[in-house]
Amino acid sequence: MKKIEGLAGAAGQALYRALVLKREAVELVEGTVADPEEEIARFEEIRGKYAEELDQLAQKSADGHGQEAAAIMRAYAVIARDDFFFQKPIKRVRADGISMAYAVEEACQKVCRKFEGMDDPYMKERAVDIRNVCTELIRRLQGVSSTLEIQGDDPVILVAEDLTPEDTIRVDKKKLGGFITQRGGVTSHAVILAKTLGIPAVVGCGEVMTAVESGQKLYLNGSEGWAIVEPDAETEARFRDAHKKQLQLDGLYRHAASQPSVTKDGHQIMVCVNSGDKDSVNGLDATKCDGVGLFRTEFLFMDQTDYPSEQLQYEAYRQVAEAAQGKEIIIRTLDIGGDKQLDYMSLPQEFNPFLGYRAIRLCLDRKEMFLTQLRAILRASAHGKLKIMFPMIVTVEELRQAKALVQQAAQELDQEGVAHAPHVPVGIMIETPAAVLLSDQLAKEAEFFSIGTNDLIQYTAATDRQNERVQYLYTPCNLSVLRAIATVIENGHREGIPVGMCGEAASDPRLGLLLLGLGLDEFSVVPAQVGKVKYMVQHADYGQLAAKVKKLWEFATIEELEAWLASWQEEAGEQL
């Protein structure tokens, strides 16, 4: 029995046989080819077929894995069809007569080095995507199979140096019990897909390829970031006890999901879901949540060849409004920018798109596009309880300009005799230190706040969430982040507006009671977490929590806070 440790990627535990994925090595030699034009033609045929396969995988992903997985595959297809990138290795082959595989690898290395040297997490992740696509093309040029098939009917735990999103999607999900990789970070695309599939994942485990052999039993703990090779009988028994306990808890959570989210001392808390693709809209169960705390609208723009029409957007917003059966829907206006390239938008290529022309900045600049979306939302408000939320607000001026456009859209509809709700509440996401520091003034202008912790952590801690070396800073337990959250809640309540949270921290089991005690009014989480969060709320005493969280200000280090949270959770019970 041996324990190996890595990074906690996707929560959960599994005990299955290991399947070690060892890819056939590809040897690259510069060499020369007899006919460069024939070599180029062969490559273009391979590239075209691969792009078509990626299109098919995107459709498969949308049906079986969700829109986020489909978006990743669509991004891979875009890279495969990038003529500007591949023209460089093609010119090299034509000029020097070298092999296409060598030329592609050469171009890939050059571009990826540039991206990997940037601070922007999107650029780093794009380097991984480019490398994955190029590697697959090279393997196909060399006639090396990348097929990943799991024999037999029993699930396995995949062990690999790294897994691409394509690997994860191609595997029969019924046979994938979890995975552990030698490389990779906790925000990688493969981890995102593991969470979507509901399987445990451990990443960044440097010794795993030498420590595990195919066929060995592997006890994987994705929640804590470790695995045990060939666990003894006692360890297996502990796993089975934990598994049995988890099944019992799942039953409690399912029951809690259909009950009101009210604390033991009568404090009402909203527990909503995050949504933002056709699948989640169709699957919305209004009896199991208090509404939609974050409805992302980007999918309406990503799947188009031109700006989506007002009617198309209206139909989508009306559908979710009607599905919510009178419960609130917070629609976030378009949050897109240089990190998501859409041909019809002609967005500028930026060195750091996360700090550039995106979200509300783009919308305020392209008023016709923004007004079209606002008109569609307002029209849909006649069919349900809608709210409008602006992303990336960092000044009061931006908020006032956006509110003025909402008013303009409403006046236009009135003049045209088009029905809409007499008042649609307008709020903002708090996701930057600037918004935190200005939250006392923003609270005078907004009707609600929603804290987006994913970006807030990154911007506050100056931490690249894709960089394994600084993962210890990218945590919601970072004291500066928690102090920022406390400040926002306090400033919001001072002006009488509710404060919610729609980032991943809202479903972090370590933080639930703490966030309740700080006064968070709304938790917006993935649908699978609704029952667990409601259960926590239903078994909490709001007054006692408010008194207990004052201790937060005494801690100086993340370690001190995490130890306190762990003891608090143990005291409250594992189910919370």
Do 153 and 10 lie in one domain? The reply is yes
**pLDDT for 361:** 94
Do 487 and 508 lie in one domain? The reply is yes
**pLDDT for 232:** 92
- Is residue 163 domain-resident? yes
For residue 93, the SS3 value is helix
- Is residue 453 domain-resident? yes
**pLDDT for 31:** 79
Q: pLDDT category, 187, cuts 50, 70, 90? A: low
Do 320 and 194 lie in one domain? The reply is no
Do 379 and 278 lie in one domain? The reply is yes
Active-site annotation holds for 502: yes
Does residue 24 have a pLDDT over 70?
A: yes
Q: pLDDT category, 490, cuts 50, 70, 90? A: very high
- Is residue 258 domain-resident? no
Tokens 């099944």 map to which residue? 247
Identity of residue 532 = K
CB 392 within 8 A of CB 428: no
Q: Which of 117, 141, 165 is the last residue of a domain?
A: 141
Do 280 and 384 lie in one domain? The reply is yes
Residue from 134, 272, 289, 502 carrying the catalytic annotation = 502
- For 180, 196, 355, 417, the CA distances from 148, given in Å and listed in that order, are 16, 20, 39, 58
Instruction: List the one residue out of 163, 221, 191 whose CA is nearest residue 19.
Output: 163
CATH number at 220 reads: 3.50.30.10
CATH number at 130 reads: 1.10.274.10
For residue 262, the SS3 value is strand
Structural domain of 15: 2-23+147-242
- For 513, 520, 537, 542, the CA distances from 265, given in Å and listed in that order, are 14, 16, 10, 6
Do 436 and 571 lie in one domain? The reply is yes
Structural domain tally of the chain?
A: 4
Instruction: State how far Cα 364 lies from the chain centre.
Output: 26
CB 324 within 8 A of CB 281: no
Do 443 and 563 lie in one domain? The reply is yes
What is the tens place of the pLDDT at every residue in 338-372?
445 567 888 777 766 677 888 999 999 999 999 99
The radius of gyration computed from the CA coordinates of the chain, to the nearest angstrom, equals: 25
CB 360 within 8 A of CB 404: no
What is the tens place of the pLDDT at every residue in 286-329?
888 999 999 989 878 876 778 999 999 999 999 999 999 999 99
Do 155 and 133 lie in one domain? The reply is no
Please provide residue 259's backbone torsions phi and psi, each rounded to the nearest 5 degrees.
Answer: -105, 160
Instruction: State how far Cα 238 lies from the chain centre.
Output: 32
Q: pLDDT category, 441, cuts 50, 70, 90? A: very high
E strands in 333-384: none
What is the tens place of the pLDDT at every residue in 256-283?
999 999 999 999 999 999 887 665 676 7
Q: pLDDT category, 245, cuts 50, 70, 90? A: confident
Residue from 108, 112, 134, 189 carrying the catalytic annotation = 189
Do 323 and 232 lie in one domain? The reply is no
Q: Which of 194, 225, 242 is the last residue of a domain?
A: 242
**pLDDT for 117:** 62
Please provide residue 441's backbone torsions phi and psi, each rounded to the nearest 5 degrees.
Answer: -80, -40
Read out DSSP for 393-441? Answer: --SHHHHHHHHHHHHHHHHHHHHHT----S---EEEEE-SHHHHHTHHH
Q: How far apart are CA 246 and CA 61, in angstroms?
A: 28
- Mean pLDDT along residues 507-521: 92
Instruction: List the one residue out of 420, 418, 415, 408 whose CA is nearest residue 378.
Output: 420
Q: Which of 389, 424, 459 is the last residue of a domain?
A: 424
Greater confidence (172 vs 561) lies with 561
Do 127 and 174 lie in one domain? The reply is no
- Is residue 251 domain-resident? no
**pLDDT for 174:** 80
Strand partners, 228: 3, 219
- Mean pLDDT along residues 45-62: 84
Provide the token pair at 59. Answer: 């459709």
For residues 167-192, one letter each, b for 16 or more C-beta atoms within 10 angstroms of the residue's C-beta and e for the rest, the string is bbbebebebbbbbbbbbbbbbbbbbb
Do 19 and 124 lie in one domain? The reply is no
Name which of 106-110, 444-448, 518-522, 524-528 the model is least confident about: 524-528
- Mean pLDDT along residues 70-79: 81
Do 305 and 231 lie in one domain? The reply is no
Total-model pTM? 0.72
Q: How far apart are CA 472 and CA 52, in angstroms?
A: 40
